[in-house]
Amino acid sequence: MQEENNQEIKEQAPEVEIDQVRYQQLINDIEGNQNIQLAVIGGIIAAAVGAAIWAVVTVVTGYQIGWMAVGVGFIVGFAVRIFGKGISKSFGVVR
């Protein structure tokens, strides 16, 4: 049943032609705006802010909530992505 539905969707989906020249221009523009230094600085600031929030929550509640580390990691990754405007593999390493 699921396979039939998937096949119907594929048959109904329109073919989309991608303009390779415009696509390459877009990728070049994005890569030209990348900034690894700003990504690192933004990540460090986000880590400090996240750690401070985690410390405040720990002091106020009297409990250390380990899951907050995941939240801090998310904030750092988001900051690296936003401040660095990067799409290359090096930005994945920084995160």
Q: What is the pLDDT of residues 12-44, one digit of tens each?
A: 667 778 888 888 888 888 888 888 899 999 999
**Is the residue at 14 inside a domain?**
no
Q: Is the pLDDT of residue 64 over 80?
A: yes
Q: Is the pLDDT of residue 87 over 60?
A: yes
**Cβ atoms of residues 81 and 91 within 8 Å:** yes
CA gyration radius, the chain: 21
**Is the residue at 50 inside a domain?**
yes
**Cβ atoms of residues 86 and 34 within 8 Å:** yes
Q: Is the pLDDT of residue 95 over 60?
A: no
Domain span holding position 92 = 35-95
Domain count within the chain: 1
Can you give the pTM of this predicted structure? 0.68
Please tell me whether residue 63 adopts helix, strand or coil conformation.
coil
**Is the residue at 28 inside a domain?**
no
Query: In angstroms, rounded to a whole number, what is the distance separating the alpha carbons of residues 80 and 95?
Result: 6
CA distances from residue 77 to 47, 80, 89 in whole angstroms, order as listed = 9, 5, 13
**Is the residue at 43 inside a domain?**
yes
**Average pLDDT value for the chain:** 84
